[in-house]
Amino acid sequence: KNQVEQSPQSLIILEGKNCTLQCNYTVSPFSNLRWYKQDTGRGPVSLTIMTFSENTKSNGRYTATLDADTKQSSLHITASQLSDSASYICVVSADTGGFKTIFGAGTRLFVKA
């Protein structure tokens, strides 16, 4: 069964600290993996996208990694800011010739002053 599992479910960190969010997937055959940020009451916004051949991608203070062999990805946030408080969703697409995209449940990040 195609699945995307994220951990932790929620996380509280102090402003200025770093954190790493995890994503494990069983989606096959793999096409690409995206990380989205979703603020409360808003739609998700794409942070990074990685294909099979890419193992790291940065977008400002966000750095995503991908290990296609172990089917794991991480999102590292550096020098967190209060505005980073949001849900971070890992999304994996399968290359089936049709449309198959599986969303994780997300990690809820709270950044405290």
Partner 1 sequence: GAGVSQSPRYKVAKRGQDVALRCDPISGHVSLFWYQQALGQGPEFLTYFQNEAQLDKSGLPSDRFFAERPEGSVSTLKIQRTQQEDSAVYLCASSLTAVYNEQFFGPGTRLTVL
Per CB under 8 A, residues contacting partner 1 are 4, 31-32, 34, 41-46, 49, 89, 91, 93, 98-99, 101, 103-106, 108
Q: How far is the CB of 112 from partner 1 (least distance, A)?
A: 20
Which lies closer to partner 1 via its Cβ, residue 84 or residue 104? Answer: 104
Three-state SS annotation for the chain: CCCEEEECCEEEEECCCCEEEEEEECCCCEEEEEEEEECCCCCCEEEEEEECCCCEEEECCEEEEEECCCCEEEEEECCCCHHHCEEEEEEEEECCCCCEEEECCCEEEEEEC
Which lies closer to partner 1 via its Cβ, residue 90 or residue 111? Answer: 90
Which lies closer to partner 1 via its Cβ, residue 31 or residue 78? Answer: 31
